[in-house]
Structure 1
Amino acid sequence: MKILVPVKRVVDRNVKVRVKADGSGIDLANVKMAMNPFCEIAVEAALRLKEAGQASEVVVVSVGNEKSAETLRTGLAMGADRGILIKTDAERIEPLAVAKLIKALIATEAPGLVILGKQAIDDDSNQTGQMLAALLGWPQATFASKIELGTETIEVSREVDGGTETLSLALPAVVTTDLRLNEPRYASLPNIMKAKKKPLDETTPDALGVDIAPRLAVLRTVEPPRRAGGVTVASAAELVARLKETGVL
């Protein structure tokens, strides 16, 4: 069975982002980029299924400009077999457009399972997996913390308010990954070198017949307000009084 893993290129999780002076967006000049952490978890999940003999091929796919090929090479260095870049120079690609592109790619790749991160740390939309499942008409399980793949079904455990919920899905299916699913591996130097020789194909939204024109407009981007300094109170009574003054109580 083939597993398809969409991955996204985002600002590295350790970088403190800066907002442009005109408020039009995030300043990406000379900023370190990396694979979205939730996407790393999805790649790791697919690789573990392949290593267990439950999958025959792991294919990573990304939507973006030529620099997104670096993200795909990261997935290949982790152990994925092939990479596919849906190349576009569009500055903003909305979740619905990504879902449509992946659906079009699935028509030719015919995977038995799609695993992707539950959200990207740049826009936190948490929409692509759900939209993809809806467009395909496939069952879905989101926020997976445990995956058990069978012959014709997959069992997914996910955390809910009351504890843990376990779902059984008929294949093919869409699964989105949560932080607790696994700890992604680091790519070794030999695997990084091998990744350079692995196949990386390219296609475009036009070739897939998908319109990626944005339907939303970003009006303004602002930094979160700075935290005000704290104060020390002498007693519980003073604390209660101050909370009443601020409207908390």
Structure 2
Amino acid sequence: MQCSKCGADPADGAKFCPACGEEQEAPAVFGNGKRGGRVGYSEKIYDPAFQKYLKNTNRWSSIFAGGLAVIAVAGFYIAGETGAGGMENPESLYIGLGIGGMFLAIAFFQIVGRKRSTTWDGVVTDKKVKQKRRKQSAGNNKNDYYWVNYTEYTVEIRSDGGKKHYIVVDDDDTLYNYYQVGDRVRHHGGLKSYEKYDKSRDSIIFCNACATKCDIGDDVCFRCGCPLLK
């Protein structure tokens, strides 16, 4: 664990930091005998597994978008050739090219967004729960719909630079309960995920690569194999 005041690494079980004398809070021990995580941001973020995960994510985004684009172009071209739905080429082909281009553009901006995202520190400043409702389609007719009630959970994070960021999840309070107002957090660029500074009282931890919920006693994510930043 790291000292919460100066960042030094006291020996496990040390009551006071040998560098600054700050009293150390012992990690929580849960009913299964497993201890909570550490206090401090993990150096495991520099593990090559994260760069490999990002590279694979970008590659599969490109492949998936390319596949959808090919299907859209081919589908509308065939529709135009056969006259399906009253379509004719080249108009039908142009529609397919437009839709295919849209898929490619979405993938491009996702990849660029990941590459441009930065690492910054901040603090949880607010948490909100709202009861909302939205329209749900009930058929092909745009006027055929019904209302669905849902609960929106929001965690507000203010960066040290003063900008507000939000984690918003519908009908799942897991992340909402994981963060508490006052928690220090770090946003990791590229991964676009958050790491808590103090994980000593946590029984779970979220993978910073694929966001899978894992047990605090695990060392790597069981889904993607990346190290857990505990």
Which one has a bigger Cα radius of gyration?
Answer: 2
TM-score (ref. length: structure 2): 0.20
> Which protein has greater RCO, CA pairs closer than 8 Å, 6+ apart?
1
**Structure 1 length-normalised TM:** 0.19
